[in-house]
Chains A and B, each alone.
Chain A
Amino acid sequence: MRNHAFIYSEDMLKYKFSDDHPFNHLRLQLTKSLLEAEDALQPDDFVTPRMASDEEIALVHDQAYIEAVKKAGRGELSPGLANNFGLGTEDTPMFHNMHEAAALLVGGTLSAVDEVMEGRATHALNLGGGLHHGFRGKASGFCIYNDSSIAIEYLRKVYGMRVLYIDTDAHHGDGVQWAFYEDPDVCTLSIHETGRYLFPGTGAVNEKGNGQGFGFSINVPVDAFTEDHSFLEVYEAAIWEVAEFFKPDIILTQNGADAHYYDPLTHLSASIEFFREVPRIAHEVAHDFCDGRWVAVGGGGYDHWRVVPRAWSLLWLEMSDQRHIAEGSLPETWLEAWKDQSPIPLPTFWTDPADLYPPIPRKPEITEKNKKSLDKALFHIRNEKNR
């Protein structure tokens, strides 16, 4: 059995709202191309994503919404009706065959789940997924169908797994959280920039789940301008304590790459190091608690030239035990292949320069505040443990 699977198809690039929309799945091709230039992807790593069926999408989404998305993709949905479903907005405009494009991303995450659950791989990666803002009956924040929610429900129904979902996108993983807010067999952990200004505004520490699910939604909001050290301190403490508390059968990580300093939509100050450490720790957790069972998906990431290809390559290199590759310069062939298309100079090293950004003036306060948020977020878990 090979250890790891890479879900990919050029068709995933058809999930495209418009040429100047910030969500651009060219990221997938850029990442694959970088990994191939480093000889880090072998032919038998690849798995072609399947299309998710309507029944599978309906594990989470309303039938009426699925019909609306289909109609929207054929240009048959009126703007008034579209608006009720969050479609045809600036964030999620309607586009040709949008149902098929979105269903393929869902299918990709389900293929990743099948690889792991049917024993063909220990870890599987679908960078096309991670659309964590999708709601039961509404598109939101660039997301149409919520592949992660669907995959979690699929893991519950088909395989009876207890799932720990870990979301390190800079935006709160609201769609997944609300889908399982009352479910004690699914635990969601989201670490994100505070919703003070940033979309979607939710994800406060006091959102902890409801009814039977109380205690199984965990949110750690971090302050704007949070840097690697504080961010990782919070992440590492949270993921271990939550895994210890919940004892998952499998982890599903959402690996948005928009917490980087360069990202145009958020206000965090992570460097590329953050994206090296996040999967490293998730990988350890998967082996310590779940016999290695780990499905990873992509997510946000809006500097798709300078940040996302490196960040997501690091995720794959961690998953496939090829960490040593990510040292020194980026391969010349990759730089040559893309430099003419990139509107900004491409990075030339795997690491970021030491002077990536000017020093942050309020660093000690931010670090202290993030620690306090962590303590509040984990309060009930620590309380339980000490009883």
Chain B
Amino acid sequence: MLIEEIMHKDVAYLTAENTIEQAMNVMHERKIRHVPIVNDKHELIAIVSDRDIRDASPSIFHADEHLEDLQKPLSSIMKTNVVTTGPLDFVEDAASTLYEHDISSLPVTEDDVLVGMITETDILHTLVKLTGAHQPSSQIEIRVPNISGQLADVAALFKANNKNVTSVLVYPCEDPEYKILVFRVQTMDPRRIIETLESSGYEVMWPRMPGMSP
């Protein structure tokens, strides 16, 4: 999935000449935590986060003092070294960018021009969709040897049982000799497919009382 499919296109932005108070208002009204700063060509030049604002605001114990500080331009607090992404980048890559830089939103730019905004919430929601967890389904986890062709073999059993698969994930296993295949299957009665998988020699992970026979 591409960033342009999930990004916010109606982006709230400001310029370096706007005041800190204006940024506070925009964040409050739009319920956002990051405001991108653009120049007159609508090119992204900086970003202001709620933390930058907080650092510039008086303490709650002195809430009425130094209010003139809030009239200073955003250029005095904005961060110019902005991590961005492009509309044609993959959502997975954007997710790892957020993770690497330990940040929670990314402006989307095309030839330096601001075209969108993406937040960790958007990405999390997309990942939930990718796991198929938003559609009615049962989850079946299968431990398979870490050799090629296992996914195809297991998938063939789902096909033979006429079970519609909504999503498949491949997880690493603690034991590197194995991998975990996670299927979400459109059925309320997975008994037969589990039986088929087990009788074909696969290990199905399913709620089971520890220390009790399966």
Residues of chain A touching chain B, judged by Cβ–Cβ distance below 8 Å, are 22, 89-91, 133, 140-142, 171, 174, 195-202, 224-225, 264-265, 267, 358, 360-362
Q: Is the CB of A133 within 8 A of B133?
A: no
Decide: A361 near B211, CB < 8 A? Known: A197-B138, A201-B139: yes
Within 8 A of A (CB), among B184-213: 184, 186-191, 206-207, 209-212
Query: Can you list the 8 inter-chain pairs with the closest CB atoms, starting with the nearest?
Result: A200-B136, A224-B207, A267-B207, A141-B188, A199-B188, A199-B138, A197-B139, A140-B136
Q: Is the CB of B191 within 8 A of A360?
A: no
Decide: A200 near B209, CB < 8 A? Known: A22-B189, A91-B188, A142-B188: no
Docked CA distance A197–B211 (Å): 20
Decide: A361 near B210, CB < 8 A? Known: A89-B164, A91-B188, A265-B189: yes
Residues of chain B touching chain A, judged by Cβ–Cβ distance below 8 Å, are 133-141, 161-164, 184, 186-191, 206-207, 209-212
- B210 is contacted by which of A91, A195, A200, A362 (Cβ under 8 Å)? A362
Q: Is the CB of B209 within 8 A of A197?
A: no
Decide: A197 near B140, CB < 8 A? Known: A89-B186, A90-B163, A361-B211: yes
Q: Is the CB of B209 within 8 A of A265?
A: no
Docked CA distance A159–B141 (Å): 47
Q: Report the minimum CB–CB distance from B188 to chain A (whole Å).
A: 4
Docked CA distance A22–B189 (Å): 8
List 16 interface pairs A-B (beta carbons < 8 Å), by A numbering. Answer: A22-B189, A90-B163, A91-B188, A141-B188, A197-B138, A197-B139, A197-B140, A197-B207, A198-B139, A199-B136, A199-B137, A200-B136, A202-B133, A202-B134, A361-B210, A362-B209
Further contacts, 7 of them, CB under 8 A, given A141-B188, A202-B133: A140-B188, A141-B136, A195-B139, A197-B207, A198-B138, A199-B138, A199-B188
What residues on A are CB-neighbors of B135 within 8 Å? 200-201
- B191 is contacted by which of A265, A358, A361 (Cβ under 8 Å)? A265
Docked CA distance A361–B208 (Å): 11
What residues on A are CB-neighbors of B139 within 8 Å? 195-198, 201
